[in-house]
Structure 1
Amino acid sequence: MYQFIEQTVDRYMTRQVKTVSCDVTMQELNDLFASDDFNAYPVVDDQGDAVGLVTKFDFLKCFALTLSSMVPRYDELMKRTVSDTMVHEFIYVSATTKLVRVLQLMVEHRLRSVPVMDTEQHLVGIISREDVMRALRDCTRGEQLAV
């Protein structure tokens, strides 16, 4: 477990991140979620800078009914864009962030993945629950054999 405490994001993050643009429709986003089996996509602008995050939960919020809203047609909802539903303020980490901090953020905020940004706020990767679990396995493998 002590080895895990010293690990940083850069060793375990995914560097090739799939992103979406603000003008992706809900239908296109739905198709991406189905084909990639991701829970979230960073949203990037024309320059490739991260401007938000869109999750399956954000997608589902489009369909939540309230007492004050009329029920829109499904086709109309699927034509909405990511910019209508994405979160503009999101939690992110740097490549030098310790994995124990990432784990804390994931548990505290119920996150499945966290974007990784550099000092100039450019997207450089993403760290997921699976990545953290892999790090835990790697770091405790020797401890399990010793028991």
Structure 2
Amino acid sequence: MYQFLEQTVAGHMTRSVRTVTRGLTMRELGPMFERDDFNAYPVEDDGQMVGLVTKFDFLKCFAFTPNQMVPRYDDLMKRTVADIMTSEFIYVRSDTKLTRVLQLMVEHRFRSVPVIDIGHRLEGMIARGDILRALEECARGSG
């Protein structure tokens, strides 16, 4: 298990990541979540990561309180990623230790975390499954 303590994001992240733009509508985003079975998409603008949109962000639009009017479904589906995305998000760098990523995932209940470089360009995503695979590989190696 000591081998796991030295592992970094670079060796375990998914590098080819699907991204979305701010102008994508909820009508277009919903089927993407279904098709790709992703929990989150990085939002890019001009080559830089500017936000993150999750299934939770999408579903939150449909949570109404008794004190508010319920918008029409078609009006909700015309909303864009820019309307619902999280623009202040936690990210890691490729040299971040997996132990730190695991700590962030547990603390914030994240399923995945974007990996960005110094120029705010997306390098990839690191997900729970990536961490589990790294743990298994390290356990086999020290077994």
Q: Give the superposed CA RMSD.
A: 0.9
User: How far is the alpha carbon of 1:142 from its aligned partner?
Assistant: 3.3
In the other structure, the counterpart of 2:27 is 27
Once residues 80 and 22 of structure 1 are traced to their aligned partners in structure 2, the CA distance between those partners, rounded to angstroms, is: 10
Identity among equivalent positions (%) equals 65
Deviant stretches of 4+, over 4 Å: none
- Would you say how many aligned residue pairs link Structure 1 and Structure 2? 143
Match of 1:58 in 2: 57
Matching residue's letter, 1:28: E
- 1:3-51 deviations in Å (ceiling 9; x for gaps): 0000000000011110000011111110100000000000011x12111
After TM superposition, the score normalised by the length of structure 2 is 0.97
Q: Report the AA paired with residue 125 of structure 1.
A: G
Provide the C-alpha distance between the structure 2 equivalents of 1:83 and 1:17, rounded to a whole number of angstroms.
19
Gaps in structure 2 of 5+ consecutive residues: none
Which amino acid letter does the alignment assign opposite residue 80 of structure 1? R
Match of 1:118 in 2: 117
Report deviation, 1:60. 0.4
Counterpart of 1:90 in structure 2 is 89
The structural deviation recorded for 1:121 is 1.6
Q: Any conservation in 1 of the 2:13–2:126 contact (CA below 8 Å)?
A: yes
Question: TM-score with structure 1 length normalisation?
Answer: 0.94
- Report the secondary structure of 1:135's partner residue: helix
TM superposition shift of 1:67: 2.8
Separation in 1, partners of 2:33, 2:136 = 27
